[in-house]
Structure 1
Amino acid sequence: MIYNVEKETLNMQDKEKLQLERLQKTVQVVYENVPFYKEKFAENNITPEQVRSLEDLKKLPFTKKQDLRDHYPFGLFAVDQKDMVRVHASSGTSGKPTVVGYTRGDIEVWSEVVARAIAAAGGEPGHVLHNAYGYGLFTGGLGLHYGSEQLGMVTVPVSGGNTTRQILLIEDFKPQVICGTPSYVLNIAESMEKMGKDPRQTSLKYGIFGAEPWSEEMRQTLEEKLDIKAIDIYGLSEIMGPGVSIECHESQNGLHIADDHFYVEVIDPETLEPVKDGEYGELVFTSLTKEAFPIIRYRTGDIAAIDRTTCKCGRTSVRMSRVKGRIDDMLIIRGVNVFPSEIENCLLQVEELVPHYQILLKKKGTMDLIELQAEVNESTFEKCGGDMKHLDMDELKRRIEYQIKSNCLVSIHVQIMEPNSIPRSEGKAVRIVDLREEKVLQKK
């Protein structure tokens, strides 16, 4: 089902004309109403009148997350407070949160792009949607909620946590769609198994997962455990929230960007120059229709590539690859760049393990050390009589380390853990624990 056929199948010529009209209007708005952008434009010797084509976007300055923090809380808003109806904020890993605002018009646009996204994932009017994303300042819960209602679905606003109740509602309300972070929905499935229930026997047909990086191997795990089609959704509060892009259930081959509302670029994060379509780089988004919090060339920190070919589902929107990782997530191990998602891929190829892990960053003298904690599954634990001493630890470590060495080209010390010893997530999973400064980094 295509929710908005006119906009989602627009031909390239008409789309670029619409994008340019909206870009020129946005540039004029931020120039007149956001002092930060007026100053930045002056530094770059650019005025709104000089934006005559989409190519001219490259003349405009980038916006970074630090810019949002430097102007906390409302310094980058383009409308008066009386014209706003809501604010959201992301917690971040340190310091002040990044705050974003919405007018009534923004909420309507957001509702539509999320409705498009849910429809692309397989949702239909009359279906029941179980929303296990957290509600509150985090955009995930309310974003999916409004889009679900816009599509005409029966929305269950259960939020995150209270896993036993989640299971009860899934059994009794019989939803076709579940939304949440992949790590938490996996936690729900595992909890069902511990209760003697088969998670493959529920009414669920589709899952919409995001808010944290997850691998193709994690997708396979979720699809097998729950007998569903697992769909990747992408968004970030600085741009709008969930609904910036999503995979379609027909092909699951890249995430369709709502590019009549969000213009995408991909740049080399070092040179800041654009890369060719199909090449990986940092995603940069410019909002085209936001009123309260328009943003120009926002550097997301997310690594992906884009594809402009038409998808078999019929949508003509630009597609982005699944996010490979984040620039600030990237680990440098003896000169080799590694993303946690790449390590996850390796772990899920070892049948004795479950997809729960943590990467510990430690210090020994002046040297940084990296330790991977991996957890065995229940069946493996039972086979060794419930005693890890009876497990051939050396052989298992050797296979894990071989997978990582072969695929990631690095050597990492592995520690094998008992089942359920790594904390389970009721929201975003904590994958990297930095013990060098005795703090936890929860990555987006």
Structure 2
Amino acid sequence: MKLLIVDNEERARKTIHQLVKWEEYGIEQVLEADNGLTAKDIIMREHPQLILMDMMMPQMNGVELMKWVHEHEPTIKFVVISGHDDFDFVRSTMRYGGIDYLLKPVEAKVLSAALSKAVTASLREQQERQIRERQQPQGSRFMPMYADKLLSGLVDDPTHHESTMRMLKDECGLPESFDTVAVALLEVDSSDYKLFQRFGNDADLLYFALLNICNEFLQPRQLGTAFRHPGEAGEITLMVWDAKMSLTVLMNEINEGLYTTLQRRMHFGISPRGTFPSDVPQLYRQAVDALRARNLLESDSYIHHARPDGEGGSGLGDAPDFAASAKDWELAVTSGQHELIAMAVEAWIGKLKKCSTITMAQLEAYDAAISGLQTRMLEHTAGAQAPELYAQLEQEQRTHAASQSASPGFSLMALQDRWQRMLIRLSQKLLTHQRHQR
């Protein structure tokens, strides 16, 4: 991303340079102009995405420059930094789409906040343009879908690596020569309903935006590529073939790009490096295992490396066994008393609170055990109608979860609430069915 500073005072331009850590905003090049006419020439030649500008300048003042930008380069986002507290200047800034109007001398914190808004607005509009382009006729979308299918083939079908590789190099721009690769998986939180709502609950549009962000960091520097595995929901696969680049640094860079654009950081599972293309299926499984074995209690840790072969086991660790609590849950559900249900779930959560580690593999095992308990109780009470009642419970759970405003991510409190509500609905379904059978 490029940024242009426009101010006729050299000291002011240097001050702005010193106030901002440009790399934190993904700004790779900072240009300068000492008047509006010079700024126009630079804009037409370099096409910056962002402008920080003064108002009172010779030859072409800030209002004239803003008007020209608004007419000729409307995608550029700009922030005014002026020494004049003038309502007409502020009104002109808003009229021509300015992000903010700051008064000199500007503080670093204030400038950073305005710059963050400008960067976010620029990236969001860029994603929206790309999404609109995606909705062009089918032929213009063929190549990305074709590339996804070929790259997924490296994960799924190692017997056809040679023919797949040739097509990827000939038609999809894969480098001619590299020997090693690492696989990373970006995990998309399916419970992050607010994020999905931002894309009209269209998962394809969300994944398209995520892919674009990832590939902005990978493809221009020829570090690797990101693609969507057609058979796997909730993830994006990244292949990194540049052996010199630190995978931790790279995934953190991508995560900051995700946060700037979507206000979300996401979890990455990373495999070790292996031989390309023969090791890709194994590397993919190791990246999956890295995500499943991550400690959900460490909420600020987003990069998860696969453990060496033989370490980590199933990812269940020393987790408490749900079977010991299953009978208490069953009795509570049968009683129909919400207080007993709450006590049974709270007792189980108390055991989990004593754990230093809770992994996704553990939660999957618990959810499977709880699902089995529901099925057994429904079959025992409702017989042939059990599948219909189970489907109703699942739909009610999804509807309730989608209505929640809690932040995405793992919490024992949210887990307790989810399980308690699920058992209450199960109890109500069983009691209602029993009354209808009398």
- Structure 2 length as normaliser, TM-score? 0.26
Give 1 or 2: higher strand fraction.
1
Larger Rg: 2
Higher RCO (C-alpha under 8 Å, 6+ residues apart)? 1
